[in-house]
Amino acid sequence: MLNTLSIRNVVLIDRLDVAFGPGLTVLSGETGAGKSIILDALGLALGMRSARSLVRAGADQASVTAVFSIAPDHPARPLLAAAGLEIDAGEDLVLRRLLGADGRSRAFVNDQPASVRLLRDLGAQLLEVFGQHDGHGLLNAATHRGLLDAYGALEDEVAALGRLWEAVKAAQAQLEDIESRLRKAQEDSDLTRAALEELDRLEPQAGEEERLAAERAFLMQAQHVAQTVQSAYGVLEDERGPQAQVSSALALLEQALGGLQDGACPPAVAAPLDRTAQALERALIEIEEAVAALTEAGQALDVRPERLEQAEERLFALRAAARKHGVGVDDLVEVRAALLARLESMENLEEAHGQAQDALAQARAAYDKAASALAEKRAKAGVRLQKALAKELAPLKMQKAAFRVAQTMLPPERHGPQGMDQISFEVCTNPGTPFGPLGAIASGGELSRFSLAMKVALTGGKGHKVMVFDEIDQGVGGAVADAVGRRLAALARTAQVLVVTHSPQVAARASRQYRVEKLEQGNTICTHLQALDEEERREEIARMLAGADVSDEARSAARALLEA
């Protein structure tokens, strides 16, 4: 319940303190007296958008303080707890907002600094304002599904369905991404396979280019080297070559040594000759080894003519493949591995594509199941709302009107986070006429009453929120206005209700009444709020009936309204 409202320096209000009580409280006054300013100030305390224009001219800042008492089970308490601002069971909840002339604002909850967002969240749980144009919101069928969900307490199901829908969209996006990659991979597969087959035939090896280049260079010089080696071999093997001459010299020396009798040759001769023979034997051995080595080298140099051609073809093929892939020859091994991995990746994509299809089917099945269950709950909530609204229409002199909740199942392409069905409120105001949209059938007065009935039905008499009606009785008068007043009074038995009205029939049903008026204070004009006693109420209601010139007949009519 809203206990008190304190306003300082808001537009035409310099200082205003007002206490509220349970039941129905009416704010009346002439047009332009400042009733809307009071509601704007209240909204400021509840976190609504602020503007520097709200600050009274000449003031440094405006301030609004709203004091509420809340029950232990009030839905505002979890918000306070989440913000670390728990309050005791018997403690009031005090919301305060300061707005500077520069447009900056500060928020406080029980004198603790808080965010404006917290004020707004608390305000949504504490108070609801139904404006004189609020009925136009009902004309927008896009709001009907949300209103029905709130009435049926289906918000958790809707939130869960939204998460399932996000899972569907994520699975769909994943599938589309894989399909896109798979299409591209399939388009490239023939080229990839051809390139891989080419490299498989080549079988490139690491370091092969350097080895082939060296072999090619050797083979290109092998013939000339072989000729040189053959010449050297010929020199050594020639009958007049060193081998033959050393052999001849050794034979002569051995002949000379053999011709000497034992003991006939002095050591001075025998020793040098013996050393000479040994040297010649060694030389002959070395020459023979040299010939053998030349023979081996010649055999190695005896290459087939096609060997150079093969080496060149292999080297040129590797270099051509490298140019084709834009890499070095030694990188062809990695290119081959990458091509193989690409083909394997395509196979993995095909497997992933199947898995993504299954995931999407599962996500969609879960969504469809939840959306179908939600649609069934909406249908049941719609029936309850129809019955509840029928009870509200009769006291408002609309007993011949009928209301229904139309539910349309949407095609799959129009499913979304809110479900697979569309909700619209339809009405017929006269028996025998077809149901249709509210805006096409309801008149201005009927729309006001219908809006009141709808709001009462949607709240379900829970009583957690303070209900503020801003000229909800617009466009009605006489018996209909009296019916509106009686319904508001009945509603106020279970909830605190504040009404801004120009209707004397509504004002007469109030538990208490305040008159909003403009007063001159020096050179300024201020909005003032006055609590009315019984006599003052009769005078105010008479003014509301008659206008500026209040007659005795108007006073008598006002008394009758108050006593009815």
The DSSP secondary structure of 84-101, one letter per residue, reads T----TTPPEEEEEEEET
Strands 112-114 and 93-100, bridge-based pairing: unpaired
> Three-state SS for 356?
helix
Per-residue tens of pLDDT for the chain, all 564 residues: 999 999 999 988 888 899 998 999 999 888 766 788 888 899 899 988 888 889 988 889 999 999 999 988 888 888 999 999 888 888 899 999 999 998 899 999 999 999 999 999 999 889 887 765 555 567 788 889 988 998 898 999 999 999 999 999 999 999 999 888 888 777 666 677 777 778 777 777 788 777 877 777 776 766 667 667 667 767 777 667 787 787 888 887 777 777 665 556 677 777 787 888 888 888 888 888 887 887 777 666 655 667 667 777 888 888 888 888 888 888 888 888 887 777 777 777 788 889 999 999 999 999 999 999 999 999 999 999 999 988 888 888 888 888 999 999 999 999 999 999 999 999 887 888 888 887 776 666 677 778 778 877 876 655 578 888 887 766 667 778 888 888 888 888 888 899 888 889 889 999 999 998 888 776 777 888 889 999 989 988 898 888 778 888 888 888 888 887
Whole-angstrom distance, CA of residue 117 vs CA of residue 82: 13
Q: What order of strands is seen across the sheet that includes strand 127-130? A: 127-130, 466-470, 497-500, 24-28, 512-521, 524-531
* E strand segments, 340-430: 402-409, 421-428
β-strands 512-521, 24-28: how paired?
parallel
| Assigned fold of 1-132+462-532 | Rossmann fold (3.40.50)
**Angle, alpha carbons 337-339-342 (nearest 5°):** 110
What's the predicted TM-score (pTM) here? Answer: 0.60
Q: Which long-range contacts (CB under 8 A, 24 or more apart) does 119-123 make?
A: 119/45, 119/46, 119/47, 119/95, 120/46, 120/47, 120/48, 121/47, 121/79, 122/46, 122/47, 122/76, 122/79, 122/80, 122/93, 122/95, 123/43, 123/45, 123/46, 123/47, 123/48, 123/95
Tokens, residue 560: 């009758």
Whole-angstrom Cα distance, residue 370 to residue 373? 5
Element (H, E) at 46: none
Strand (E) or helix (H) holding 25? strand 24-28
Terminal Cα distance for the chain, rounded: 27
**197 to each of 208, 238, 315, 321, 532, how far by Cα in Å?**
19, 57, 18, 12, 99
Q: What is the spatial distance between Cα 127 and Cα 497, in angstroms, rounded to a whole number?
A: 10
CA distance 469 to 488: 9
Locate the domains of the chain by residue range: 1-132+462-532, 185-343
Write the secondary structure of 216-261 as one string of H (helix), E (strand) and C (coil). Answer: HHHHHHHHHHHHHHHHHHHHHHCCCCHHHHHHHHHHHHHHHHHHCC
The three state secondary structure string of 388-401 is: HHHHHHHHHCCCCC
Please state, in angstroms and rounded to a whole number, the distance separating the CA atoms of residues 482 and 545: 13
